[in-house]
Chains A and B, each alone.
Chain A
Amino acid sequence: MKKVLVVGASSAIAEAVARIFSGQGAKFYLLARNSEKLSSLEADLLIRGAALVHSERFDINEHWRHEVMLNTVSEVLGGIDVALVAHGTLGNQQECEQSPDLALQELQTNAVSTIAFLTRLGNLFEKQGRGTIVVISSIAGDRGRPSNYVYGTAKAAVTTFCEGLNARLFKAGVHVMTVKPGLVATPMTEGLDMPKALLAEPEQVAADIVRAMEKKIDTLYTPWFWKYIMAGIVHIPTSFFKKLNL
């Protein structure tokens, strides 16, 4: 029976992952800010076969709660097999360009607090000597683009941090997987004008994540074709890249 911690549990992608695990009778500890979303998800997962679901309101930016929270989760579940870190916000890039406070707030939620949390989480897993940490970063971290480079900066930081953490914890028997989704139809991207052909459903991304965890993949691009698209984009010379409207 998998013991699963989900941070940002109400995220559409996280929810889809939790639904897959619930079918296998997993035990959950769900964390997110909105209690209405949490309680409806709780009932949903139980009906789908989850053995146990705890949920609690939690804001990743409340650093002072991280340690206590992690200890509670580990105690209640009796260890953690899988920790999925999925919270995130996609701030308005134009507004971030005008307001350093707003830009920092985005970096705070998506990078700084995430890194603070992963620091403690990594140590807990190291002590356990087992388990999988799955962190949802983004293809946006692979290259700074005018349309979302503040968000991209945060994701780049998380990606790099996870790469290092993975190499460190590998020796302790812990697997850290970085997930880089492309464009996914979730509340986060609602209202954005995105090419339909490239848009994935959260269920598809979730299935990829679960499969990749089993295979112990280090960095997952999902859907798969983003690996190739990003390989191309990363190699565009800056002198040309800066002229593009991406």
Chain B
Amino acid sequence: MNGHEICGWGRYPVITVEVHAPKVVSAMGGLLRDAAGSSILARGLGRSYGDSSLNDRVIETRYLDKFIAFDPQTGVLTSQAGTSLAEILRVFLPKGWFLPVTPGSRFITLGGAVASDVHGKNHHVSGCFCEHVERFEVMVGPDRVVTCSREQEPELFYATCGGMGLTGVILTVSLRLKTVTSAFIDQQTFKARNLAHSLELFEQNSRSTYSVAWIDCVATGQNLGRSLVMTGEHAADNKLDLPVKKSLAVPFDMPPGMLNIHSVSLFNTLYYNRVRGDMVRKRVHYEPFFYPLDGVLQWNRLYGKNGFTQYQFVIPKSAGLRGMSGILQEITKSGKGSFLAVLKVFGQENPNHLSFPMEGYTLALDFKIEKELFPLLERLDAMVLDLGGRVYLTKDVRMSAATFARSYRKIDLFQSVRERYGVNGVFASHQSRRLGLDL
């Protein structure tokens, strides 16, 4: 099949490529054989924002979405890599199981979750997604499928977790689910006056299973970094039933200008003022708690047809308040307020070669794509690097190879494992070439 337009969630860039969507795993070998000489890349539901899932030749896993085995004793689910987190929740939550880690969208695949080693609002207590993965199978060549775990082929395991599809096609994943007794979350929302207050609230709630803050990026001066800090615990009300709810969809691209600084600021003020007291307790369904944006399907169209990017960085805890304030100031000064600004505290770093999280603070913001944006992001990169931080690959669309090399410290190890398995250059993406991992 030729000439298909694909793009990441940010809808920038949009490229025309060759797309394959095998119906059976046994067809995969043939696809890799045919690709000999050029590169190929696995692709899930395209929820990565930038060019991580883009290549001139891609293999979509959407038909490889079958459950393979489930052990109710241990909670270990083995499933094909194209299975979505949404489907896992739909089937397993009514039986009292939940995802050990979930990102802010459930419309992502197991393969994508492993390849980006995604994190959720519980990173400070539960780490990344792959820390709950027992093993997976990855196809590294037409005739070679490797089963990896921490014990078996550990190097390939640590390279593939967070390895952005660059070590092969993940075929199956064995994930340990966790037990819950409710589909609901007991949520607490705190109003934080400014950044210092926000970080303080995180500190005070470090034992909470889930925590996240929504920052009003437009607030300046004394209010810089004011936010709503939300924490959550799984409720224990034995209500596992799912609500039946239709999602809204944004049917067409927003005309440019609709999402300017005023509408963004208005949105943020409304959001902030929604919470009246200093703290509000509420029992909410897990969907709005974890996936507030999944409720509006295709909200990425709100940014208009030029698309957008999400800039997510992490800085070490030691850089703390000062570092974060500096970067936030630079952002507010630029006047490019964003629809979304999410602040989280990360726990310990894991041994995966290219995983993003490190102990510290992470901030994620959306920016409409425009010419003036790129110099701003360069400036932010410099600040992040100076503080010893880094930028999240699964959101990135423009980082330089130099920035990447300076901030990801296990690149050499990653590349040596790729070489050992003979996958360098075979599995590659627009991003891997931009970052100098492939030619």
Residues of A within 8 A of B (CB): 10, 12, 23, 34, 36-37, 40-41, 43-44, 47-48, 187, 190-191, 197
Q: Does B338 contact A (CB under 8 A)?
A: no
Q: Are B91 and A48 in contact (CB under 8 A)?
A: yes
Q: Are A48 and B67 in contact (CB under 8 A)?
A: yes
Selected from A36, A44, A47, the residue in CB contact (under 8 A) with B26 is A36
Task: Across the interface, name the chain A residue whose C-beta is closest to B65.
Answer: A44
Residues of B within 8 A of A (CB): 1, 21, 23-26, 63, 66-70, 80, 91, 251
17 A-B pairs within 8 Å (CB atoms) are namely: A12-B63, A23-B91, A34-B23, A36-B24, A36-B25, A36-B26, A37-B23, A37-B24, A40-B66, A43-B69, A44-B66, A44-B67, A47-B68, A48-B67, A187-B63, A190-B21, A191-B1
Residues of chain B lying within 8 A (CB to CB) of residue A48: 67, 91
Smallest Cβ distance from A96 to chain B, in angstroms? 21
Q: Are A47 and B23 in contact (CB under 8 A)?
A: no
Smallest Cβ distance from B288 to chain A, in angstroms? 22
Residues of chain A lying within 8 A (CB to CB) of residue B66: 40-41, 43-44
Smallest Cβ distance from B253 to chain A, in angstroms? 13
Residues of chain B lying within 8 A (CB to CB) of residue A34: 23-24
A34 to B24, CA, bound (A): 9
Smallest Cβ distance from B233 to chain A, in angstroms? 28
Q: Besides the contacts A37-B23, A48-B91, what 14 more A-B pairs have beta carbons closer than 8 Å?
A: A10-B23, A34-B24, A36-B24, A40-B24, A43-B67, A44-B66, A47-B67, A47-B68, A47-B70, A187-B21, A190-B1, A190-B21, A191-B1, A197-B251
A136 to B63, CA, bound (A): 21
Q: A48-B91, A187-B23 are in contact. Are A40 and B1 (CB under 8 A)?
A: no
A41 to B23, CA, bound (A): 12
Residues of chain A lying within 8 A (CB to CB) of residue B68: 40, 43-44, 47
- What 8 pairs between A and B have smallest CB-CB spacing? A44-B66, A47-B67, A40-B66, A36-B24, A191-B1, A44-B67, A47-B70, A43-B68
Smallest Cβ distance from B71 to chain A, in angstroms? 10
Smallest Cβ distance from A40 to chain B, in angstroms? 4
A47 to B80, CA, bound (A): 13
A197 to B66, CA, bound (A): 27
A190 to B62, CA, bound (A): 12
Residues of chain B lying within 8 A (CB to CB) of residue A47: 67-70, 91
Residues of chain A lying within 8 A (CB to CB) of residue B251: 197
Task: Across the interface, name the chain A residue whose C-beta is closest to B62.
Answer: A185
A190 to B80, CA, bound (A): 21
Smallest Cβ distance from B140 to chain A, in angstroms? 21
Task: Across the interface, name the chain A residue whose C-beta is closest to B90.
Answer: A23
A179 to B83, CA, bound (A): 27
Smallest Cβ distance from A132 to chain B, in angstroms? 23
Smallest Cβ distance from A199 to chain B, in angstroms? 13
Smallest Cβ distance from B247 to chain A, in angstroms? 12
Smallest Cβ distance from A219 to chain B, in angstroms? 25
A23 to B67, CA, bound (A): 13
Residues of chain A lying within 8 A (CB to CB) of residue B23: 10, 34, 37, 187
Smallest Cβ distance from B82 to chain A, in angstroms? 11
Q: Are A40 and B80 in contact (CB under 8 A)?
A: yes
Task: Across the interface, name the chain A residue whose C-beta is closest to B68.
Answer: A43
A26 to B270, CA, bound (A): 48
Smallest Cβ distance from A97 to chain B, in angstroms? 22
Interface centre among B21, B67, B68 (most CB of A within 10 A): B67
Task: Across the interface, name the chain B residue whose C-beta is closest to A197.
Answer: B251
Residues of chain A lying within 8 A (CB to CB) of residue B67: 43-44, 47-48
Task: Across the interface, name the chain A residue whose C-beta is closest to B70.
Answer: A47
A212 to B68, CA, bound (A): 30
Residues of chain B lying within 8 A (CB to CB) of residue A37: 23-24
Smallest Cβ distance from A14 to chain B, in angstroms? 13
A36 to B1, CA, bound (A): 22
A191 to B1, CA, bound (A): 6
A26 to B23, CA, bound (A): 25
Task: Across the interface, name the chain A residue whose C-beta is closest to B4.
Answer: A191
Task: Across the interface, name the chain B residue whose C-beta is closest to A185.
Answer: B62
Residues of chain A lying within 8 A (CB to CB) of residue B69: 43, 47
Interface centre among B1, B63, B251 (most CB of A within 10 A): B63
Smallest Cβ distance from A225 to chain B, in angstroms? 14
Residues of chain A lying within 8 A (CB to CB) of residue B26: 36
Residues of chain B lying within 8 A (CB to CB) of residue A36: 24-26
Residues of chain A lying within 8 A (CB to CB) of residue B63: 12, 187
Residues of chain B lying within 8 A (CB to CB) of residue A190: 1, 21
Smallest Cβ distance from B152 to chain A, in angstroms? 23
Interface centre among B21, B23, B66 (most CB of A within 10 A): B66
Task: Across the interface, name the chain A residue whose C-beta is closest to B91.
Answer: A48
Interface centre among A37, A41, A44, A187 (most CB of B within 10 A): A44
Task: Across the interface, name the chain B residue whose C-beta is closest to A46.
Answer: B67
A29 to B377, CA, bound (A): 57
Residues of chain A lying within 8 A (CB to CB) of residue B70: 47
A40 to B63, CA, bound (A): 11
A30 to B97, CA, bound (A): 28
Task: Across the interface, name the chain A residue whose C-beta is closest to B251.
Answer: A197
Interface centre among B21, B69, B91 (most CB of A within 10 A): B91
A23 to B68, CA, bound (A): 16
Smallest Cβ distance from B180 to chain A, in angstroms? 19
Residues of chain A lying within 8 A (CB to CB) of residue B1: 190-191
Residues of chain B lying within 8 A (CB to CB) of residue A187: 21, 23, 63
A36 to B21, CA, bound (A): 16
Residues of chain B lying within 8 A (CB to CB) of residue A44: 66-68
Residues of chain B lying within 8 A (CB to CB) of residue A23: 91
A197 to B249, CA, bound (A): 12
A48 to B24, CA, bound (A): 20
Interface centre among A41, A47, A187 (most CB of B within 10 A): A47
A48 to B67, CA, bound (A): 8
